[in-house]
A = this chain, B = another copy of it.
Amino acid sequence: MPIPAANLYPPFNITRLSHVEYGVTDLAASRTFYVDILGLQVTHEDDSRIYLRAMEERGHHCIILRQSDHAGVACLGFKLYDTPDLEKAAAFFEGKSLPVEWIERPFMGPSLRTRDPWGVPLEFYVKMDRLPPIHQQYRLYNGVKPLRIDHFNMFSANVDAAVAFYGEMGFRVTEYTEDDDSGRVWAAWMHRKGGVHDVAFTNGTGPRLHHTAFWVPTPLNIIDLLDLMSTTGYVANIERGPGRHGISNAFFLYVRDPDGHRIEIYCSDYQTCDADLEPIKWSLTDPQRQTLWGAPAPRSWFEEGSLFDGAETRDSDLKAQPIIAP
Protein backbone atom coordinates (compact mmCIF):
# COMPACT_ATOMS: atom_id res chain seq x y z
CA MET A 1 0.00 0.00 0.00
CA PRO A 2 1.32 3.40 -0.80
CA ILE A 3 2.04 5.92 1.91
CA PRO A 4 -0.99 8.21 2.16
CA ALA A 5 -0.50 11.86 1.32
CA ALA A 6 -0.05 14.06 4.36
CA ASN A 7 -3.34 15.29 5.81
CA LEU A 8 -2.62 19.01 6.12
CA TYR A 9 -6.00 19.82 7.69
CA PRO A 10 -6.62 17.21 10.35
CA PRO A 11 -9.88 17.23 12.30
CA PHE A 12 -8.11 18.39 15.46
CA ASN A 13 -4.67 19.75 16.19
CA ILE A 14 -2.20 17.55 18.05
CA THR A 15 0.89 19.58 19.02
CA ARG A 16 3.10 16.71 20.12
CA LEU A 17 3.47 13.52 22.09
CA SER A 18 3.40 14.36 25.77
CA HIS A 19 3.72 11.57 28.30
CA VAL A 20 3.54 7.86 29.01
CA GLU A 21 2.35 6.04 32.10
CA TYR A 22 4.24 2.84 32.88
CA GLY A 23 3.12 0.20 35.32
CA VAL A 24 6.25 -0.92 37.12
CA THR A 25 6.66 -3.77 39.57
CA ASP A 26 9.25 -2.17 41.84
CA LEU A 27 8.77 1.54 42.13
CA ALA A 28 12.01 2.12 44.02
CA ALA A 29 14.09 0.24 41.47
CA SER A 30 12.42 2.17 38.68
CA ARG A 31 13.02 5.44 40.49
CA THR A 32 16.71 4.65 40.74
CA PHE A 33 16.85 3.88 37.03
CA TYR A 34 14.93 6.88 35.70
CA VAL A 35 16.25 9.45 38.20
CA ASP A 36 19.76 8.40 39.21
CA ILE A 37 20.79 6.77 35.97
CA LEU A 38 18.85 8.49 33.19
CA GLY A 39 18.68 11.84 35.00
CA LEU A 40 14.98 12.68 34.83
CA GLN A 41 13.66 15.01 37.53
CA VAL A 42 11.00 14.05 40.07
CA THR A 43 8.12 16.53 40.07
CA HIS A 44 5.85 14.62 42.43
CA GLU A 45 5.98 11.31 44.21
CA ASP A 46 3.96 9.29 46.65
CA ASP A 47 3.76 5.64 47.63
CA SER A 48 2.34 4.51 44.35
CA ARG A 49 3.36 7.02 41.70
CA ILE A 50 6.36 9.02 40.60
CA TYR A 51 5.97 11.87 38.12
CA LEU A 52 9.07 12.83 36.14
CA ARG A 53 10.03 15.56 33.72
CA ALA A 54 13.05 16.13 31.49
CA MET A 55 15.37 19.11 31.70
CA GLU A 56 13.85 21.52 29.20
CA GLU A 57 10.24 20.58 29.82
CA ARG A 58 7.86 22.85 31.66
CA GLY A 59 4.86 20.58 31.59
CA HIS A 60 4.49 18.76 34.88
CA HIS A 61 5.51 15.33 33.64
CA CYS A 62 6.54 13.26 30.65
CA ILE A 63 6.62 9.94 32.49
CA ILE A 64 4.45 8.52 35.23
CA LEU A 65 5.77 5.44 37.02
CA ARG A 66 2.97 3.61 38.80
CA GLN A 67 3.52 0.73 41.21
CA SER A 68 1.70 -2.24 39.74
CA ASP A 69 1.57 -6.01 40.00
CA HIS A 70 2.52 -6.25 36.35
CA ALA A 71 4.61 -4.25 33.92
CA GLY A 72 2.55 -2.49 31.29
CA VAL A 73 1.65 0.77 29.66
CA ALA A 74 -1.46 2.56 30.88
CA CYS A 75 -1.61 5.24 28.21
CA LEU A 76 0.22 7.38 25.71
CA GLY A 77 -0.50 11.06 26.20
CA PHE A 78 -0.61 13.77 23.56
CA LYS A 79 -0.92 17.51 24.01
CA LEU A 80 -3.49 19.34 21.91
CA TYR A 81 -3.06 22.85 20.57
CA ASP A 82 -5.99 24.69 22.11
CA THR A 83 -9.21 24.08 24.06
CA PRO A 84 -11.53 23.61 21.07
CA ASP A 85 -9.36 20.68 19.98
CA LEU A 86 -10.61 18.59 22.89
CA GLU A 87 -14.19 18.47 21.65
CA LYS A 88 -12.99 17.98 18.11
CA ALA A 89 -10.87 15.04 19.24
CA ALA A 90 -13.84 13.53 21.06
CA ALA A 91 -15.97 13.89 17.97
CA PHE A 92 -13.30 12.25 15.81
CA PHE A 93 -13.01 9.18 18.01
CA GLU A 94 -16.75 8.92 18.59
CA GLY A 95 -17.20 9.09 14.84
CA LYS A 96 -14.98 6.03 14.61
CA SER A 97 -17.02 4.22 17.28
CA LEU A 98 -14.01 4.28 19.53
CA PRO A 99 -14.49 4.62 23.27
CA VAL A 100 -14.32 8.19 24.57
CA GLU A 101 -14.16 9.09 28.22
CA TRP A 102 -13.54 12.39 30.04
CA ILE A 103 -11.24 11.81 32.97
CA GLU A 104 -9.62 13.67 35.83
CA ARG A 105 -5.85 13.32 35.78
CA PRO A 106 -3.58 14.71 38.47
CA PHE A 107 -1.70 17.83 37.45
CA MET A 108 -3.74 18.10 34.25
CA GLY A 109 -6.78 19.94 33.01
CA PRO A 110 -9.67 18.19 31.24
CA SER A 111 -8.42 15.03 29.57
CA LEU A 112 -9.90 12.74 27.00
CA ARG A 113 -9.18 9.03 27.24
CA THR A 114 -9.77 6.82 24.20
CA ARG A 115 -8.22 3.96 22.22
CA ASP A 116 -7.03 3.66 18.68
CA PRO A 117 -8.66 0.93 16.56
CA TRP A 118 -6.18 -1.64 17.88
CA GLY A 119 -6.70 -0.84 21.53
CA VAL A 120 -3.79 1.49 22.25
CA PRO A 121 -4.93 3.67 25.16
CA LEU A 122 -4.53 7.32 24.17
CA GLU A 123 -4.96 10.41 26.27
CA PHE A 124 -5.44 13.93 24.93
CA TYR A 125 -5.35 17.20 26.85
CA VAL A 126 -4.71 20.88 26.42
CA LYS A 127 -3.58 22.01 29.86
CA MET A 128 -1.03 20.40 32.11
CA ASP A 129 0.32 22.09 35.22
CA ARG A 130 3.30 24.25 34.27
CA LEU A 131 6.52 24.24 36.27
CA PRO A 132 9.35 26.77 36.34
CA PRO A 133 12.04 26.26 33.71
CA ILE A 134 15.05 24.27 34.93
CA HIS A 135 16.96 24.04 31.67
CA GLN A 136 19.61 26.43 32.99
CA GLN A 137 19.89 24.83 36.42
CA TYR A 138 23.03 23.07 35.42
CA ARG A 139 23.54 21.63 38.90
CA LEU A 140 20.54 19.38 38.24
CA TYR A 141 21.81 17.84 35.04
CA ASN A 142 22.68 14.20 35.63
CA GLY A 143 22.86 10.85 33.89
CA VAL A 144 22.30 11.18 30.15
CA LYS A 145 20.99 14.78 30.54
CA PRO A 146 17.59 14.04 28.98
CA LEU A 147 16.10 17.23 27.55
CA ARG A 148 12.60 16.17 26.44
CA ILE A 149 10.45 13.21 25.48
CA ASP A 150 10.85 12.72 21.75
CA HIS A 151 8.69 9.85 20.44
CA PHE A 152 6.82 6.60 20.90
CA ASN A 153 7.40 3.59 18.71
CA MET A 154 4.78 0.84 18.65
CA PHE A 155 4.63 -2.69 17.32
CA SER A 156 1.71 -2.91 14.95
CA ALA A 157 0.15 -5.98 13.36
CA ASN A 158 -0.91 -3.82 10.41
CA VAL A 159 1.38 -0.90 9.83
CA ASP A 160 -0.41 0.23 6.67
CA ALA A 161 -3.64 0.59 8.60
CA ALA A 162 -1.95 2.30 11.53
CA VAL A 163 -0.33 4.79 9.15
CA ALA A 164 -3.69 5.50 7.59
CA PHE A 165 -5.42 6.06 10.94
CA TYR A 166 -2.73 8.22 12.52
CA GLY A 167 -2.40 10.00 9.19
CA GLU A 168 -6.03 11.05 9.46
CA MET A 169 -5.14 12.67 12.77
CA GLY A 170 -2.47 14.71 11.02
CA PHE A 171 0.67 12.70 11.71
CA ARG A 172 2.87 12.98 8.61
CA VAL A 173 5.19 10.26 7.38
CA THR A 174 8.87 11.27 7.26
CA GLU A 175 10.47 7.87 6.59
CA TYR A 176 9.21 4.36 6.03
CA THR A 177 10.39 0.87 5.22
CA GLU A 178 8.75 -1.09 2.50
CA ASP A 179 8.81 -4.84 2.14
CA ASP A 180 9.81 -5.20 -1.51
CA ASP A 181 8.01 -8.49 -1.95
CA SER A 182 4.57 -7.51 -0.73
CA GLY A 183 4.75 -3.76 -1.29
CA ARG A 184 3.42 -3.35 2.22
CA VAL A 185 4.81 -1.01 4.79
CA TRP A 186 7.03 -2.71 7.36
CA ALA A 187 7.57 0.38 9.47
CA ALA A 188 6.79 4.10 9.38
CA TRP A 189 7.84 7.23 11.23
CA MET A 190 5.28 10.01 11.62
CA HIS A 191 5.47 13.46 13.18
CA ARG A 192 3.49 16.39 14.49
CA LYS A 193 6.12 18.54 16.15
CA GLY A 194 8.66 18.92 13.37
CA GLY A 195 11.25 16.24 14.11
CA VAL A 196 11.46 12.84 12.45
CA HIS A 197 8.65 11.42 14.58
CA ASP A 198 6.22 11.65 17.45
CA VAL A 199 4.96 8.13 16.76
CA ALA A 200 6.28 5.21 14.75
CA PHE A 201 4.97 1.79 13.89
CA THR A 202 7.02 -1.36 13.42
CA ASN A 203 5.61 -4.58 12.08
CA GLY A 204 5.14 -7.25 14.73
CA THR A 205 2.76 -8.67 17.25
CA GLY A 206 0.78 -5.66 18.32
CA PRO A 207 -0.21 -3.38 19.65
CA ARG A 208 2.71 -3.18 22.04
CA LEU A 209 4.90 -0.26 22.93
CA HIS A 210 8.32 -0.84 21.37
CA HIS A 211 9.95 2.11 23.08
CA THR A 212 9.72 5.65 24.39
CA ALA A 213 12.56 7.95 23.39
CA PHE A 214 14.27 10.93 24.99
CA TRP A 215 16.27 13.62 23.24
CA VAL A 216 19.71 14.48 24.62
CA PRO A 217 22.19 17.25 23.69
CA THR A 218 24.99 15.29 21.98
CA PRO A 219 26.28 11.76 21.29
CA LEU A 220 28.81 12.27 24.09
CA ASN A 221 25.92 12.23 26.56
CA ILE A 222 24.96 8.81 25.27
CA ILE A 223 28.53 7.62 25.77
CA ASP A 224 28.40 9.00 29.32
CA LEU A 225 25.25 6.98 29.98
CA LEU A 226 26.86 3.80 28.71
CA ASP A 227 29.88 4.38 30.93
CA LEU A 228 27.60 5.06 33.91
CA MET A 229 25.25 2.13 33.36
CA SER A 230 28.08 -0.34 32.77
CA THR A 231 29.78 0.57 36.04
CA THR A 232 26.75 0.84 38.29
CA GLY A 233 25.27 -2.59 37.71
CA TYR A 234 23.20 -1.89 34.61
CA VAL A 235 25.36 -3.45 31.91
CA ALA A 236 22.63 -6.04 31.28
CA ASN A 237 20.17 -3.23 30.64
CA ILE A 238 22.11 -2.09 27.58
CA GLU A 239 20.29 -3.64 24.64
CA ARG A 240 21.45 -2.10 21.37
CA GLY A 241 23.89 0.60 20.31
CA PRO A 242 25.32 3.09 20.37
CA GLY A 243 25.01 3.77 16.71
CA ARG A 244 23.80 5.99 13.92
CA HIS A 245 20.40 5.11 12.51
CA GLY A 246 19.95 4.87 8.77
CA ILE A 247 16.32 5.85 9.23
CA SER A 248 16.20 9.30 10.88
CA ASN A 249 20.02 9.68 10.88
CA ALA A 250 19.79 10.02 14.65
CA PHE A 251 22.48 8.82 17.03
CA PHE A 252 20.91 6.28 19.33
CA LEU A 253 21.09 3.85 22.21
CA TYR A 254 18.41 1.42 23.43
CA VAL A 255 18.25 0.39 27.05
CA ARG A 256 15.75 -1.61 29.11
CA ASP A 257 14.38 -0.40 32.40
CA PRO A 258 14.07 -2.75 35.42
CA ASP A 259 10.75 -4.06 34.04
CA GLY A 260 12.09 -4.45 30.55
CA HIS A 261 10.35 -1.37 29.17
CA ARG A 262 12.55 -0.18 26.35
CA ILE A 263 13.87 3.39 26.37
CA GLU A 264 15.70 4.96 23.47
CA ILE A 265 18.20 7.76 23.96
CA TYR A 266 18.22 9.82 20.77
CA CYS A 267 19.75 12.91 19.25
CA SER A 268 20.61 14.61 15.97
CA ASP A 269 17.67 13.89 13.74
CA TYR A 270 16.42 16.59 11.36
CA GLN A 271 13.74 19.24 10.85
CA THR A 272 10.55 18.04 9.08
CA CYS A 273 8.07 20.90 9.43
CA ASP A 274 7.67 21.49 5.67
CA ALA A 275 4.22 20.34 4.57
CA ASP A 276 5.70 19.07 1.32
CA LEU A 277 8.48 17.02 2.91
CA GLU A 278 8.93 13.90 0.85
CA PRO A 279 8.98 10.70 2.91
CA ILE A 280 12.21 8.73 2.57
CA LYS A 281 11.68 5.13 1.60
CA TRP A 282 13.95 2.28 2.71
CA SER A 283 13.98 -1.33 1.69
CA LEU A 284 13.61 -3.96 4.38
CA THR A 285 16.66 -5.69 2.98
CA ASP A 286 18.92 -2.66 3.26
CA PRO A 287 21.52 -3.55 5.91
CA GLN A 288 22.11 0.12 6.68
CA ARG A 289 18.45 0.85 7.32
CA GLN A 290 18.52 0.42 11.07
CA THR A 291 22.16 1.15 11.75
CA LEU A 292 24.00 3.15 9.12
CA TRP A 293 27.15 1.52 10.44
CA GLY A 294 25.80 -1.91 9.61
CA ALA A 295 25.44 -3.67 12.95
CA PRO A 296 22.10 -5.50 13.03
CA ALA A 297 19.79 -5.26 16.01
CA PRO A 298 19.55 -8.21 18.41
CA ARG A 299 16.59 -10.55 18.29
CA SER A 300 15.18 -9.04 21.49
CA TRP A 301 14.86 -5.70 19.75
CA PHE A 302 12.58 -7.22 17.13
CA GLU A 303 10.56 -9.36 19.49
CA GLU A 304 10.20 -7.77 22.91
CA GLY A 305 7.88 -4.94 23.81
CA SER A 306 5.56 -3.61 26.51
CA LEU A 307 1.90 -4.54 26.65
CA PHE A 308 -0.77 -1.85 26.73
CA ASP A 309 -3.26 -2.31 29.54
CA GLY A 310 -6.51 -3.58 28.16
CA ALA A 311 -5.29 -4.15 24.61
CA GLU A 312 -5.09 -7.67 23.27
CA THR A 313 -2.30 -8.34 20.85
CA ARG A 314 -2.55 -9.99 17.47
CA ASP A 315 0.21 -11.37 15.29
CA SER A 316 1.05 -9.64 12.09
CA ASP A 317 0.41 -11.49 8.85
CA LEU A 318 3.34 -9.70 7.25
CA LYS A 319 6.05 -12.32 7.52
CA ALA A 320 9.00 -10.62 5.88
CA GLN A 321 12.26 -11.04 7.70
CA PRO A 322 14.41 -8.17 8.84
CA ILE A 323 18.16 -8.64 9.35
CA ILE A 324 18.76 -9.85 12.90
CA ALA A 325 22.05 -10.13 14.75
CA PRO A 326 23.02 -13.76 15.29
Chain A residues at the B interface, C-beta cutoff of 8 Å: 8, 15-16, 56, 58-59, 79, 81-82, 126-127, 130, 133, 135-139, 147-148, 193-194, 217-220, 223-224, 226-232, 235-236, 238, 242, 244, 246, 249, 251, 268, 270-271, 273-278, 280, 287-288, 292-294, 325-326
Contacts and interface: CB of A to CB of B under 8 A. Distances in A.
Contacts of A137: 231
A220 B82 CA distance: 39
Contacts of A293: 226-227, 229-230, 235, 238
Dominant SS at the A interface? loop
A223 B251 contact: yes
A137 B227 CA distance: 9
Contacts of A133: 280
Given A8-B81, A276-B127, A288-B235, A193 B271 contact: yes
Contacts of A226: 244, 292-293
Contact of A81 (B231, B242, B275, B288): B275
A194 B278 CA distance: 20
Which has the most chain B C-beta neighbours within 10 Å: A81, A218, A224, A271?
Answer: A271
A82 B218 contact: no
Contacts of A246: 136
B217 A294 contact: no
A271 B218 contact: no
Given A218-B218, A227-B292, A230-B292, A273 B136 contact: no
Contacts of A326: 325-326
Given A58-B278, A270-B147, A273-B194, A294 B219 contact: no
Contact of A227 (B193, B228, B244): B244
B273 A139 contact: no
